[in-house]
Structure 1
Amino acid sequence: MKRKSKDIIMDSDSWSTCPFCELSVPSHQLQRHANDHFHDPSDDADHMLLQQSRQSVSGSGYEAVSGDCNYRYGGETSRDNGQCKMDEQISCLIGLQTRGNFYKVELGLTTLLRNCLESETENLKSILSGYVDHFQSLDSEDAGWGCGWRNIQMLSSHLLAQRQEAKEVLFGGSGFVPDIPSLQRWLEIAWEKGFDAPGASQLDHVVYGSKKWIGTTECAALLRSFALRARVVDFGPKEESQSVVGTSVDKAVDKARNDKTDNNEVKNSEAYQVLMDFVWNYFSNENTIQFGQQHVVISEKTPLYFQHDGHSRTIVGVQAKHQQNGYLAYNLLVLDPAHSTPALERSLKKKIGWQKLVKKGRNTLKKPQYQLCYVDPGIASEEEMENLKTIDSVFLEL
């Protein structure tokens, strides 16, 4: 997918300044000149040579042609005088990134979902994250591979709306959620900064323009590169714990996908109570939330990027019901990128069929491994940033 250039107003009788290199050019030539900044190296006859040279270059960035303002966005980083500076790469990306398109829900999804939860007559307690937008996968763009990016967009929409410190640093302070190609660029820059080196190596340090699947560790690496404290939690059989740490679930479960035996099957659904308990305790902040007369409250916690083999979704809350045996039965409240946003909005507004779209009980958990990513408050210090470059995780046995 090629990046769209910014809209530029042209006047054939005047001169204009290029917004990328500040060179003055005739206005009627500005569009063509600006498009040169978006030149795709895959269109070059020497593409194979560039691909070979990429192996000797760490990360991705921009190529400055000596004596010219041409920057190859996403190409090689070599210069006559050394590697292109990181701040130049980031500055270019801030100017070139595009806002992600999504269907804006009137009143907001959280408000509609809260109304539905409050309308239920059973003795239920529900906790929701604050504001979040739903980003659905589109057949024309990312169907079948883009769910990971869509969950990053949903999590980012919450951070931008709810956390001022995150809004100031995310995506160069742009204040909006970028599209998938822009997010792919940000991830490549995170890798070049040294975040999640093993994950970067597994994906050959390149995701822009590809349909490569990503997972929670890529989400964590991207957000950590902005000094946000993204955390990862793994759930799975004890024997799989070492293989999961530091990798995305999609990579970690390759063995499970190819194993014909029943050893990797989780047969006892009681095991998933561990995951359910964690999600409830996470949103309730270890029972510091007081319901009082309410049975729906808003938590300050971020949504959870929810990954398993083959798909990922976003957990925006959790619901609990007391059973006769004294235990709590939980429903995860989930936004799925595979669902249509307009259909979800209609269902929530009419309060018809929304439970099937949003509520996910323990009986729906059938995968051998799951992984979550969330963001703790605050901005990391320089010293902490070095530690955040290694994507480790907390492991909980199912």
Structure 2
Amino acid sequence: MSWSSCPFCSQQVLSTELERHANNHFEDEDLAKDFQLAKHYHDEDIPFDLPHHIAVSSSSTNCFYHCEAKHGFSSIMVMLKDCLECDNGTNTSILCGHVDHFQSVEFEDIGWGCGWRNIQMLTSHLVVQRQEAKEILFGGDGLVPDILSLQRWLEIAWEKGFDIAGANDFDQKIYGKKTWIGTTECAALFRSFGIRARIVDFSSASRLSTDVSGNKKRKSTPQVTTGPMDKYLNTTASTSTSNSKSINDNNFLGVKGSQLLANWVWSYFSKNNNNNDMSASIKPKPGCNRVVVTDKAPLYFQHDGHSRTIVGIQLKSLPNGMHQHSLLILDPAHKTKVLESCLSKKVGWQRYIKRGVHTLKKSDYQMCYVDHGIATEEEMEKLKILDSTRFEF
């Protein structure tokens, strides 16, 4: 039986009851006080000792209780690195450094909270791997906010003028709502701190039509989608929360289908923070597996009805001389303990984490990624209007 001290009253309570007990210190009607707490919680001297994958996120309480971010290479990523080094075949894998897994919690956010959990995973990387980001994110304490706190911070971002169109879609309010979010909300939240969050959009060419001027445009009646993607896909350029711009890159010309997405992910992770391509130096070596730890942040990976976090990519050498990509993904829908068990035993982890190109069957995907550095004051104004780079399958 494990006991923990309440960070608000110092009472010793069962660890399994700590979240409920802590939440009872807050009253639902005290919203104004909580709003200020979301802005200034870092001034409070509060101890945190909950396991990192646990986050208070009850929509019926106003708790801004935060989990402590571990420093260094997170245990789940250490175990994943070990598994990749022992994987069958001759492979090269590129991994992020520190990323903690945040799972959706039963009776809390299952069915709607995946976007917030992915923001937590991305935050866990930034506050450990990037000192400049740690100093400005969520008060500068290096803590990963719970869902309710993130919702407050997003409202603050909207108040500052970030993604006004997206804010209007939510009537400027999202605190306490069990509402799906997507890449635009993730980008707006991070941009409000000066983090250079970008959006990239992968869309099937069959979903596009050509107007009289020869320009590609969205079909007026796209297939039905669920979740945050449909807001992006079903609005016109003049009202969309993201203004898309097409791009041509020689590295992707002639690549068809979802392989284009995999190539983009490989290119993203294989470039260092100076945008220098490291691909040539990290190709598979005969007879061994290589795992390279990059300085790149994980990717918020959105598709119809769900979102996950891409923490790396594997390139497998096939006997015929060809290569095969697999995305390495942490899914909020999976239990952290199950992932840790499979990884520690090196058994069955592949079905949870590895996703081959053949599994990417959706018509549209979006990603949110973070560039290095902090935006200047001039950049901040530009970052208020979200845009995206689009690749067509």
Q: TM-score, normalised by structure 2?
A: 0.73
Deviation at 1:92, TM superposition (A): 5.9
Instruction: After TM superposition, give the deviation of residue 94 of structure 1 in Å.
Output: 6.5
- Structure exhibiting the larger radius of gyration computed from Cα positions: 1
Aligned residue for 2:177, secondary structure, equals coil
Shift of 1:317: 0.2
Per the TM alignment, residue 123 of structure 1 is displaced from its structure 2 partner at its CA by 1.3
Q: Which amino acid aligns with 1:291?
A: I
Return the letter of the residue paired with 1:8: C
Give the percent of matched residue pairs that are identical in Structure 1 and Structure 2.
Answer: 51
* Closer/same/farther in 2, CA of residues 105 and 291 from structure 1, 3 Å limit: closer
How far residue 90 of structure 1 moved from its aligned partner, in angstroms, is 2.3
Instruction: Give, in angstroms, the shift of residue 106 of structure 1.
Output: 10
Which residue identity does 2:113 align to in structure 1?
Answer: G
Q: What code does the residue aligned with 1:387 have?
A: K
Match of residue 201 from structure 1: 168
Asked if 2 retains the 8 angstrom alpha-carbon contact of 1:103 and 1:342, the reply is no
Match of 1:273 in 2: 259
Residue equivalent to 2:140: 173
What's the secondary structure of 2:80's corresponding residue?
A: helix
- What is the rounded CA distance, in whole Å, between the counterparts of 2:299 and 2:312 in structure 1? 9
2:245 aligned partner? none
Q: Deviations over 1:114-165 (max 9, x none)?
A: 0000002411111000010000001121000000000000000000110000
2:351: which partner in 1? 356
Assess if the C-alpha contact under 8 Å between 2:74 and 2:100 holds in 1.
no
Alignment of 1:122-161 (within 5 A): 122-161=89-128
- CA separation of 1:284 and 1:305: change in aligned 2, threshold 3 A: same
Instruction: Quickly say closer, same or farther: Cα 1:249–1:325, change in 2 above 3 A.
Output: farther
Would the alpha carbon gap of residues 271 and 308 (structure 1) be closer, same or farther in structure 2, given more than 3 Å must change? same
Deviations 1:197-232 (A, max 9, x none): 111111111111010100011000000111000010
Give SS of 1:271's match.
coil
User: What letter matches 2:108 in structure 1?
Assistant: E
Q: Larger % of helix: which?
A: 1
Structure 1 match to 2:39:
90
1:181-203 Cα deviation digits (max 9, x unpaired): 00000000001000011111111
Tell me the residue number matched to 1:287: 277
Asked if the contact 1:104/1:133 (under 8 Å) is kept, the reply is: no
- Within 2, Cα distance between the matches of 1:146 and 1:99? 17
SS at match of 1:209: coil
Structure 2 unpaired stretches of 5+: 1-5, 12-23, 45-62, 209-215, 220-226, 236-254
Question: How far apart, in 1, do the equivalents of 2:339 and 2:85 lie?
Answer: 17
The 3 A distance-change label for structure 1 pair 242 and 391 is farther
Question: Between Structure 1 and Structure 2, how many residues are aligned?
Answer: 315
Q: Conserved in 2, the CA contact under 8 Å of 1:214 and 1:250?
A: no
1:396 lines up with 2:391 in the alignment: yes
Q: Which has the higher contact order (CA 8 A, sep 6+)?
A: 2
Alpha-carbon deviation of 1:357?
Answer: 0.6
The letter for the 2-side match of 1:287 is D
Query: Residue in 2 aligned with 1:252?
Result: 232
The TM-score with structure 1 as length reference comes to 0.72
| CA offset digits 1:351-394 (Å, max 9, x no partner) | 00001110000111111100001111111000000000111010
Distance in 2 (CA, whole Å) between partners of 1:184 and 1:315 is 23
1:202 and 1:182, CA in 2 relative to 1: closer, same or farther beyond 3 A?
A: same
User: 1:40 aligned to 2:31?
Assistant: no
Deviation at 1:109, TM superposition (A): 1.1
CA contact (8 A) 2:187 2:199 kept: yes
* CA displacement 1:284-333 (0-9 Å, x = unmatched): 01632533866110011000000001000000000012346654310000
1:252: Cα distance to partner?
2.7
Q: In structure 2, what residue type is equivalent to 1:40?
A: D
- Cα distance change, pair 94–328 in 1 and its aligned pair in 2 (3 A): farther
Partner SS state of residue 343, structure 1: helix
Distance 2:71 2:339 in 1: 12
Contact (CA 8 Å) 1:218, 1:248: kept in 2 or not? Answer: no
